Amino acid sequence: MKIFTVEEFNELPVVEGFKQCPTGDYSGISSFGDRCIFEEECSFAEECSFGVGCSFGVGCSFGGWCSFGDMCNFDDACSFGVGCSFGVGCNFGVGCSFGERCNFGDECLICGREIAGFGMRYISGLGEFNRTLYVWDTKDGVYCQAGCFFGARSEFVAAVTKKYGPNHKYIKAVDFLISE
């Protein structure tokens, strides 16, 4: 993967007001302005700062304490480190994963659903694959994510019950996270 320098980043083309950023390693750059479009699987170091309206492709990876401005968009399967901060109106695709102490601004969307109540909680290390279970409180109800599954709490409980039975630790973990 190409490692971009600040000078190379500054020379990337701007098309219709958006800086076009090809797939690459941007870990040597700490600050990105408004309206950047990053292709799939880009990687970024800790404490990066992104401006308003940035867009990120599938599988981008961010270090801890990155900060994202209002209206950033993230495709499926982006990964965020500990303590990332998201501005108003950020939008996240299916399968995004979030580290501890991430903060979500007003009107953030998780798979098109507005976050409400407690926002997001999670437990790591569940099951034979050490999965992380995320529970999202949205205005449409509670949603769960574990592995490739993302859906409403009722769908999650039905899927787990069908595969493992009604008293499985995933169901207990969801209930614990909701009540915490």
Query: pLDDT digit string (tens) for 136-154?
Result: 888 899 999 887 788 899 9
Q: DSSP letter at 35?
A: S
Q: Which amino acid is at 86?
A: F
Indicate whether 60 and 29 sit together in one domain: yes
- Predicted pLDDT of residue 12: 96
Domain ranges, residue 128: 114-180
Give the span between the Cα atoms of 29 and 127, in whole angstroms. Answer: 37
Indicate whether 87 and 154 sit together in one domain: no
Q: Enumerate helices (H) and strands (E) in the chain, giving the number of each.
A: 3, 20
Indicate whether 93 and 145 sit together in one domain: no
Output the furthest CA–CA distance in the chain (Å, rounded): 57
End-to-end CA distance of the chain: 42
Q: Which of 111, 133, 156 is the last residue of a domain?
A: 111
Q: 60 with 38: CB under 8 angstroms?
A: yes
Indicate whether 96 and 131 sit together in one domain: no
In the chain, which stretches have pLDDT less than 50?
A: none
Q: Which residue has the tokens 């699987």?
A: 41
Indicate whether 43 and 118 sit together in one domain: no
pTM: 0.73
- Predicted pLDDT of residue 87: 84
Q: Which of 93, 111, 129 is the last residue of a domain?
A: 111
Handedness of CA 101, 24, 94, 111 (dihedral sign): positive
- Predicted pLDDT of residue 93: 81
Indicate whether 147 and 59 sit together in one domain: no
Indicate whether 119 and 152 sit together in one domain: yes
- Predicted pLDDT of residue 88: 81
Share of the chain above pLDDT 90, in %: 48
When divided into structural domains, the chain yields a total of: 2
Q: Which of left, alpha, beta for 139 (phi over 0: left; psi -120 to 50: alpha)?
A: alpha
Indicate whether 8 and 50 sit together in one domain: yes
Indicate whether 152 and 74 sit together in one domain: no
Indicate whether 77 and 31 sit together in one domain: yes
Indicate whether 87 and 169 sit together in one domain: no
Q: Which of 111, 138, 166 is the last residue of a domain?
A: 111
